[in-house]
Chains A and B, each alone.
Chain A
Amino acid sequence: MNLHDLTLEQVHARLQTREISSVELTRALLERIEALDSNVNAYLLVTGEKALAAARQADARRARGDAQCTPLLGVPIAIKDLIHVQGTPTTCGSRILENFTPPFSATVIEKLEAAGAVLLGKTNTDEFAMGSSTENSAYMTTRNPWNLERVPGGSSGGSAAAVAARMAFGALGSDTGGSVRQPAALCGVVGVKPTFGRVSRYGLVAFASSLDQIGVFGRTVADAAILLNVIAGHDPRDSTSLDVPVPDYRGEFKDGSGLKGVRVGMPREYFIQGMQPEVEAAVREAIATLEGMGGELVEISLPHTDYALPVYYLIAPAEASANLARYDGMRYGLRVPGVDLRDTYQQTRGRGFGPEVTRRIMLGTYALSAGYYDAYYLKAQKVRTLIKQDFDAAFEQVDVIAAPTTPRTAFEIGEMIDDPLQMYLQDIFTLSMNLAGICGLSLPCGFDHQGLPVGLQLMGPALGEPAVLCVAHAYEGATGWHKEQPLL
């Protein structure tokens, strides 16, 4: 078996027995990236020297018998290029940050480094995480490892593709409206969006502050759970992070006990006209499997589901227009000199931002502008309350909700780039979770006739990660879709 085919858990076991060293492992992955990534374009930047230095340190720590031999010690991981790693450029997939090197690290990076993880590099993203395909990256489009003519999803498409192509044993992404779960579904890996506030966002470049959350990718549910355990927790530097103890997610898995007593909700609004029939079939079969494992199926309704997209596309752009006001060309980033200050701002932002970011800033500016605030932004915030109430009511009846992650499998590169609204519709099943602040994940549940992965979405209430991960782990063990791999 090739080293890159091992899961994160298997890698950890072999590192512990000294069967392999972190340096060997890191070299093997760097070679794989070198050989394959010119086809996939998952990485914007590979930091090979730094990775090998970290690997040597990890090997030394293990040799010393470091009592804190965490499950990530010496394990190579990829980071979405929206998260700051001190001394390594952060571009956010944007020209406006082409020459920006952060002078500090995100809290999640400090935690990964303290755990001894080896950071391989920065992965591609739609510009400022705005998009569902990575086509909005100013630098390149990432390709889906299952079919190189197709998108990997987005915005964390680089991280999803890196894990699917076995060019990392896990990865970090961020999820504002589905940006971890949707690419996970399209690339056939596990992607977790934790509860709002579960993971510190200090050092994550802000897109929409009431929705953004850092998430994780793994090839298995256990791998994702292990990563989440390392990065979760309260952070005094992020006042929105929850001061609530972090459970041992992996430790709560019980193998072979089935799903007896688990109430699984099936929202009728998530099975809609126009979705790809093979996606619907695979998800319905997955839900039948959960039932077969002892889960109690409950048909539920989330009546305001249809309104999640319009709510999201007012709230997220409104918050983005405020957050992205900081890119003024004064203290960092691109500056295009104009005839005066105003012209400098306009030229800098006009040139520095790509089309999708420009669109969303304009949409948000409009929604917040005098005379339109009540009709758009305030209205959206009120409907957001209704969406949250839908979930509150549902979780009184069920423990987890099972639904498709996306309405269809990976689409072709270029297919939707000229039709923003069509692209936005790819996120209809994932947006609600961010609006409600709850947690969930996507995991593989089959393939369509073209061999493209289908994702099953499992949702839980705020801080319901343990139940969601346990159900996902049980399903994965019963089906084994995660063992399939793309031919590259």
Chain B
Amino acid sequence: MSLTLEQVEHIAKLAHLSLGPEEKALYREQLSAVLTYVQRLQELDTESIPPTACILPTHSVMRPDEPRPSMPREDLLSNAPASADGMFQVPAVLGGSGDAL
């Protein structure tokens, strides 16, 4: 199981990670090794086996729908890389290549 450089670039793009040429080459090699290793799962016949997403019995957990105070705005903005007028300040979403996100 060997990834191509194009595949590595595609994965990095999906995951929003900028990688240098050396990193791409290194991850290509390392990820290929791990993917080769995990191939052994294909030895098992799992046709009739249900998947396990979570070990707990899955059911919706409800809480009372009661209004509660939320965290103070200043506290939440205190970790923001940029803020103005009590709001998060972020790069423009529309316009530029960000449009196609």
The verdict on B51 contacting chain A, using a C-beta distance below 8 Å, is: yes
Residues A362 and B81 in contact in the complex (CB < 8 Å), given A349-B18, A379-B41, A379-B42: no
Interface string of B44-59 (1 = CB under 8 A from A): 1010011111111000
- Once the chains are docked, how many angstroms separate the CA of A311 from the CA of B31? 15
The stretch among A221-229, A336-344, A440-448 that forms the contact with chain B is A336-344
Say how far A8's CB is from chain B's closest CB, in angstroms. 30
Q: Choose among A328, A342, A365, A388 the residue that contacts B52 (Cβ–Cβ < 8 A).
A: A388
Minimum distance in angstroms from B58 CB to a CB of chain A = 10
With A313-B34, A313-B38 known to touch, is A196 a contact of B56 (CB < 8 Å)? yes
Nearest Cβ on chain B to A215's Cβ, whole angstroms:
16
Interface presence of B67 (CB below 8 A): no
Residues of B within 8 A of A (CB): 3, 7-8, 11-12, 14-19, 23, 27, 30-31, 33-35, 37-42, 44, 46, 49-56, 61, 63, 71-72, 75-76, 78-82, 88, 90-93, 95-98, 100-101
Is A483 among interface residues, defined by CB-CB distance under 8 A? no
| A420 at the binding interface (Cβ < 8 Å) | yes
Return the CB mask of A335-370 against B: 1 if under 8 Å, else 0: 101111111111101110100001101110110010
Find out whether the CB atom of A384 lies under 8 angstroms from the CB atom of B18. Answer: no
Contacts of B17 in A (CB 8 A): 346, 349-350, 353, 358, 361-362
CB nearest neighbor in B for A236: B63
Q: A residues within 8 A CB of B11?
A: 362, 365-366, 369
Contacting residues, chain A, for B55 (C-beta < 8 A): 196, 210, 388, 436-437, 462
Inter-chain CA distance A266–B17, complex, in Å, is 45
Cβ A384 vs Cβ B41 within 8 A? no
State which of A59-67, A96-104, A466-474 sits at the interface with chain B: A96-104
Chain A interface extent, by class: 35 or more
Chain A 196-221 against B: per-residue CB contact (8 Å), 1 yes, 0 no? 11000000000000100000000000
Query: Which of B19, B34, B93 has the largest count of A CB atoms less than 10 A from its CB?
Result: B34
State which of A239, A345, A349, A382 has its C-beta within 8 Å of the C-beta of B49: A382
Question: Is residue A321 within 8 Å, beta carbon to beta carbon, of the partner chain?
Answer: yes
Q: Is the CB of A421 within 8 A of B34?
A: yes
Does residue A258 face the partner (Cβ distance < 8 Å to B)?
no
Nearest A residue to B63 via CB reads A236
Of residues 294 to 349 in A, which have CB atoms within 8 Å of B's CB atoms? 304, 306-307, 309-311, 313-314, 321, 328-335, 337-347, 349
* Closest A residue, CB atoms, query B19: A350
Note all chain B residues with C-beta closer than 8 A to A365.
11, 14-15
Nearest CB on A from B68, distance (A): 11
User: Is A376 part of the binding interface, using a Cβ–Cβ cutoff of 8 Å?
Assistant: yes
CB-CB < 8 A to A362: which residues of B?
8, 11-12, 15, 17, 27, 31
